[in-house]
Amino acid sequence: MIRSKLLGLLLLSLALAGAQALTPSHYLSLSDVARLQNLLNQPFDSLESAYYSVVGLTKLGAAVPDPAEVCQFLKSQLDPSSVDSLFFAAETSQAISGCEIPVSNETRDILLAAVSEDSSMSQIHRAVGALSSLGLPLASQEVVAALTARINKEDNVMAIISALQAASRLSQQAQLGGILEEIEDLTARLDDLGGVYLQFEEGLEATALFVAAAYGLSDHVDVQPPLKEDQVIQLVNSIFGKKSWDSLSEAFSVASAAAALSNNRFQVPVIVSAQGPATVSHSQPTLQLLVTDVMSQPLASASVLVESAYAVASKSAVLNQAPFTHNDGVFELNFMSSRPASGYYQFTINVGGDSRLVANQVELKVKVSTEVSVTNMDLSVVDKDQSIGTKTTRVQYPSKAKSSFTADSHQNFAMSFQLVDVNSGQELTPHQTFVRLHNQRTGQEVVFVAEPDSKKLYKFELDTAERKSEFDSMSGTYSLYLIVGDATLENPILWNVADVVLKFADEEAPAAAQPKTLYVPKPEIQHLFREPEKKPPTVVSNTFTALVLSPLLLLLILWLKLGANISNFSFSPSTILFHLGHAALLGLMYVYWTNLNMFQTLKYLAIIGGVTFLAGNRMLAQKAVKRIAAEQSSRLAKYRSLRMEKK
């Protein structure tokens, strides 16, 4: 029973530790924001690109260059009969001051006619956006009914995001609860990637637009979105983890999400980072933190508190409930006033001052660095049979011993020293303490590890008789170096302490390496290839070929019997070129099978495929234009007939 309780407490503590560890690992740094602005601040050649550029810059808080020229461009490119054109022009005009888009009764009728359940969700959203930006009245409840009907028909992520965007433009008195519930439905469709990222399979643009639309509608109706704190952090990581953007629309979506996460009524993620490395020392005693939103803008109203700080090695607490002071956008704490020893410290930091803050409990590892010095460096040569007294020589750091030391097979060379903190005088045990012996004649090096005893006194003793194999029995003068290093040391040490003459018994010079003859014939490698498998009988191959071709024969028979309908076939150049290219591709497949190799085929495929792709793209674009024009004409006629019936 007791064991099960302990196990439960352990699992609970691990869960709490994991929950605290989840903090935003990605955000828009100042350089990221500048690159995003540069991408958005491009010359535009269409109303759509002008919309992404101008509105995107506005969301980042950047100024729009030449607003008068932008306004003139909007008016010159406006198509009063196109819902998309009206939406892009109207939305862009709202982002610049003093730009008014002319509106006629026919334009208003076109926009109102598009607000119908027969229109696509994108058309409804853009019609509502244009009506709202142009200041034209619309029946909010009718829009809600159209949006609800389209959600049942277009149950996909982008359609529902468009519904959320359109609903945020409607009157607060409208019944928006049903559409607001779609936020929770979309949240359930997000893919969790390792507990760190949360995104739609449709990609970055859909994820970023969802965040912007969810907070936009929630702010509009003053209802907190159904997003948990961990989910918000995962969304932040997904949206801002990508540092290069593939298109203008993707950059616009990221800017929209950044603006929504930085300024909404309910949840504002906090980014806590050290200004520079998270390192303090006696020369730099102040720990400096930046507390910002996801666009690296300072949160001036925030307050920062160190709830606890403990040494990673000893787990001993050194600080509790210590506030940071705010100084010109930077939060500062004089950690060295607590007199911490050198090493690493784990900080638990809480950011308060605003109830909207998310991810405001942060774990931060801080390094306390110091300077090291070598003291009590004693060198001696010890006779093994104790027949000669030991003479010890003390060397002061960083000087070199004035005389050399000689040791043969009957003697040991001994070395002892201490490492102390220059600032506090305490003994240190750095992670890396080595003794290196370098042969001055041959350049050979032998490295040993120096180990401290219980009193933190480092000792090194070299038995020349036992260690001669490591030196290849190579007698001579060796330079003795002390190497001290650690991540917390500001002054790693490489000290030439002394020269040591080593004499090994039965000295054997290493044999010279025999040169190898490289340019000689190698023995022949005999390969044994697998024998080819026996081919199936010709009857089987012919039967299989006939079965494969039988659907084509059936298709031809049905066409002859029922009649092929080619009334919608267009004899435009792009259509004819596309079908000829498709036929050429099929012919190329046959020629590849009979005559060509892969590289020849790829060359012809690039030429024929490129022409076929361009022709097919042109053909589909022409068909789409005709279909959209027919749908708009049908809706406008239907709307006008309804108005006539009402009159």
Q: Given a cut of 90, is residue 419 above it in pLDDT?
A: yes
DSSP lists the bridge partners of residue 383 as 411
Q: Given a cut of 80, is residue 201 above it in pLDDT?
A: yes
The enclosing H or E element of 144 equals helix 140-153
Q: Given a cut of 80, is residue 82 above it in pLDDT?
A: yes
* pLDDT at position 517: 60
Q: Which whole number is the average pLDDT over 208-236? A: 93
Mean model confidence pLDDT for the chain: 86
* pLDDT at position 269: 94
Q: Could you give the 3-state DSSP secondary structure of residue 501?
A: strand
What does the pLDDT look like over 249-285, one tens digit per residue?
A: 999 999 999 999 999 999 999 999 998 889 999 989 9
How is the beta sheet containing 458-463 ordered, strand by strand? 391-395, 372-383, 411-421, 458-463, 451-452
Distance linking the first and last C-alpha atoms of the chain: 82
Task: Yes or no: say if 79 and 48 are a contact pair by the CB < 8 Å rule.
Answer: no
Q: Given a cut of 70, is residue 441 above it in pLDDT?
A: yes
| 561-567-572 Cα angle (round to 5) | 130
Residues 6+ apart with CB under 8 A from 279: 366, 367, 368, 369
Q: How far apart are CA 422 and CA 375, in angstroms?
A: 10
Q: What percent of the chain lies above the pLDDT cut of 90?
A: 45
Q: Which long-range contacts link 466-471 to residues 24+ away (Cβ below 8 Å)? A: 468/409, 468/504, 468/505, 470/446, 471/437, 471/439, 471/444, 471/446, 471/502, 471/504
Q: DSSP secondary-structure letter at 526? A: P
Q: Which residue has the higher pLDDT, 581 or 527?
A: 581
Residues making up the chain, counted from first to last:
647
Q: Given a cut of 80, is residue 599 above it in pLDDT?
A: yes
Q: How far apart are CA 576 and CA 580, in angstroms?
A: 6
* pLDDT at position 639: 67
Task: Yes or no: say if 85 and 130 are a contact pair by the CB < 8 Å rule.
Answer: no
* pLDDT at position 640: 65
Residues 6+ apart with CB under 8 A from 378: 392, 393, 394, 395, 414, 415, 416, 417
Q: Given a cut of 80, is residue 77 above it in pLDDT?
A: yes
Residues 6+ apart with CB under 8 A from 641: none
Q: What percent of the chain lies above the pLDDT cut of 70?
A: 92
Q: Given a cut of 90, is residue 646 above it in pLDDT?
A: no
* DSSP E strands, 141-184: none
Q: How far apart are CA 224 and CA 218, in angstroms?
A: 6
Indicate the residue type of 144: V
* DSSP E strands, 145-251: 191-193, 197-199
Residue 323: pLDDT band with limits 50, 70, 90 = very high
* pLDDT at position 285: 92
Q: Given a cut of 90, is residue 433 above it in pLDDT?
A: yes
Q: Which whole number is the average pLDDT over 99-109? A: 87
Q: Given a cut of 80, is residue 620 above it in pLDDT?
A: yes
* pLDDT at position 2: 42
How is the beta sheet containing 361-368 ordered, strand by strand? 279-280, 361-368, 343-352, 303-311, 317-323
Which burial class, exposed, middle or buried, applies to 395 when counting CB atoms under 10 A from its CB (0-12, 13-18, 19+)? buried
| Residues 30, 35, 41, 44, Cα dihedral to 10° | -150
Q: Given a cut of 70, is residue 647 above it in pLDDT?
A: no
How is the beta sheet containing 271-274 ordered, strand by strand? 271-274, 286-292, 330-334, 325-327
* pLDDT at position 12: 38
Task: Yes or no: say if 293 and 30 are a contact pair by the CB < 8 Å rule.
Answer: no
What does the pLDDT look like over 456-500, one tens digit per residue?
A: 999 999 988 888 888 888 889 999 999 999 999 999 999 999 999
Structure tokens at 500: 């040591």
Between the alpha carbon of residue 438 and those of residues 41, 59, 80, 592, the distances in Å are 61, 64, 86, 68
Q: How far apart are CA 611 and CA 588, in angstroms?
A: 14
Lowest mean pLDDT among 47-51, 146-150, 291-295, 386-390: 386-390
Q: How far apart are CA 432 and CA 488, in angstroms?
A: 11
Lowest mean pLDDT among 161-165, 355-359, 531-535, 566-570: 566-570
Q: Given a cut of 60, is residue 162 above it in pLDDT?
A: yes
Q: Could you give the 3-state DSSP secondary structure of residue 265?
A: coil
Q: Which residue has the higher pLDDT, 645 or 239?
A: 239
Q: Which of 284, 483, 495 is nearest to 369 (CA)?
A: 284
* Helices and strands (H and E) in the chain: how many: 17, 23
Q: Which residue has the higher pLDDT, 334 or 507?
A: 334
* pLDDT at position 1: 39
Task: Yes or no: say if 500 and 484 are a contact pair by the CB < 8 Å rule.
Answer: no
Q: Given a cut of 60, is residue 20 above it in pLDDT?
A: no
* pLDDT at position 14: 37
Q: Which whole number is the average pLDDT over 218-239? A: 92
Q: Given a cut of 60, is residue 231 above it in pLDDT?
A: yes
| 496-368-18 Cα angle (round to 5) | 130
Q: What is Dmax (Cα atoms) for the chain?
A: 129
